[in-house]
Structure 1
Amino acid sequence: MEALEAEGLAPELRLALAYTPATMRAPLATFFALDQRLARIVSAATEPMLAQMRLAWWRDMLAKPVEERPTGDAVLDAIGEHWQGREHALTRLVEGWEHLLAEPPLPREAALAFAAARAEPFLVLPGDEGEAGDIAISAQRWALVDAAANLSDQDERAMMLDLASKLATRRTALPRALRGLAVLDALALRSLRRGGRPLMEGRGAALTALRAGLLGR
């Protein structure tokens, strides 16, 4: 966990980790750190091909046995320690971010594929606990709303929020191991009600996170 501190996780991600059971924190922090790395690659892309090459590096690393990967990168090292045998879910995450490099305007199908792929790591974290459908819905809501809050293109932003709103009518029940996802989902639903504002904007965000962290909703 200490090695990942330099990654500077977003405030809502740190809150999610705070309410996550201790045994799950390191795997979840690793996922969040990789997710932020990939987000920066895509958001900074001026040439989609160069961004695709950087994403392909991660895909290639995840396909290698742990002992054949280079060492010294905090996120890659943490993946080897906490995600061994589950790298397929992180590969799906990489593929999800690649969908956002599609030619504008971003197709709805690409946004849906992104959300499904970004949700994938949450599905393997709790093992056999929890209903996969509920986990996927909560994770996809967060994936879409969080991405929308960071988009500058208003049409793409509106499209992602519309997709998230279609998931907002579904109530979900998450396992205790994914209490951190409950926090993110609650913040995403709050953001959706506020028109897609940043997840931690306003004084009510901390209360929303506290309630979800304690009660799971």
Structure 2
Amino acid sequence: MTAQAEPLESRYPDLRDPRVMVAAPRARRAALAGLWALAERLTKLLRDAREPMIGQIKLAWWRDMMAMLASDPAALPKGEPLLAELQATWAGKGELAALVDAAEAALLADGAPARLDCARVFGAELFRLSGGAEAAGSRWGLVWGAVLQEEESAARDLFAAACDEPALPRAAFAGMRALLMLDRWAGAIAASAGERHWRREGLLLLRIGLIGR
């Protein structure tokens, strides 16, 4: 069951959470913060879109911005803090457009199987861009997809799929303990069908952060 009154960013595991970010490689923290800020902006866009066409228009703007970031970062519009943040850490890199494409696929997903697939893909792309394996992001992606749903039945289906998703071994997250924390955190949320247990989740993150399991 989703908690509609909670802020969006509190409803899915975010790498920018200080308990998780501290486990990320120090040299990549600024880039990761920008990446996950982009993921949050795209997520809010999907959540707020009442008409797919309007959502697509907004996503097209972000796709254009990501192309400009890759090819001509100095030409990016001024006054958008997120673009400035990305320019500082992702200039000259073209990978971020893939996340916008994954968000558009999620926007247009029609039916339960498509929602499942698109949620997995968004998680896979975000984890890949964060320095992990694509397969490592599936469970997180399903939880992310669940919190986007307005219908409780659709959210339950995605949480159930996340609960059934096999937990990858710790070796799959070698060198990226922050992503391991996100995966296990997503698994805990899925096991509770989206009901949040903040103290228990905090203890889970503390344990994984300290001993890796």
Does 2:200 align with 1:204? yes
Residue 194 (structure 1) shift = 1.3
Q: TM-score, normalised by structure 2?
A: 0.81
d(CA) in 1 for partners of 2:108 and 2:203?
Answer: 37
Give a deviation string over 1:47-99, Cα, whole Å, max 9, x none.
211111111100011111212211221211121221234332x2111111212
Contact 1:120 1:136 (8 Å CA) reproduced: yes
The alignment partner of 1:144 has SS state of helix
Distance in 1, matches of 2:38 and 2:147, equals: 19
| Structure 1 residue ranges (4+ consecutive) displaced by more than 4 angstroms after TM superposition | 8-12
Partner of 1:71: 78
In 1: Cα distance, 2:113 partner to 2:150 partner: 17
Q: Per-residue deviation at 1:169? A: 4.3
Shift of residue 110 of structure 1? 4.1
Equivalent residue runs for 1:59-138 within 5 Å: 59-64=63-68, 65-88=72-95, 90-102=96-108, 104=110, 106-126=111-131, 135-138=133-136
Q: Which runs of 5+ in 2 are unaligned?
A: 1-7
Maintained 8 Å contact 1:93/1:118: no
**Runs of 5+ in structure 1 lacking a partner?**
1-7, 127-131
**Cα distance in structure 1, aligned partners of 2:100 and 2:60:** 8
Shift of 1:23: 1.0
> What is the CA-CA distance between 1:20 and the residue it aligns to?
1.6
- Structure 1 equivalent of residue 140 of structure 2: 142
Counterpart Cα distance in 2 of 1:93 and 1:155 = 26
Q: CA deviation at 1:9?
A: 5.8
Which has the larger displacement, 147-156 or 182-191? 147-156
Cα 1:150/1:117, change in 2 over 3 Å? closer
Q: Is the 8 A contact 1:92 1:118 kept in 2?
A: no
Matching residue of 1:129: none
Comparing 35-44 and 189-198, the one that deviates more = 189-198
How many angstroms apart in 2 are the aligned matches of 1:10 and 1:165? 19
- The question of whether the paired residues in 1 share the 8 Å contact of 2:109 and 2:118 is answered with no
Q: TM-score scaled by structure 1?
A: 0.79
Contact 1:86–1:124 (CA under 8 A) maintained in structure 2? no
In the alignment, the residues of structure 2 paired with residue 86 and residue 119 of structure 1 have an alpha-carbon distance, to the nearest angstrom, of: 18
CA distance in 2 between partners of 1:116 and 1:215 (Å): 29
Q: CA RMSD in A?
A: 2.4
Q: Flag the 1:10–1:20 CA change in 2: closer, same or farther, 3 A.
A: farther
Does structure 1 residue 27 correspond to structure 2 residue 34? no
AA aligned to 2:139 is: R
* Aligned-partner Cα distance in 2 for 1:101–1:79: 23
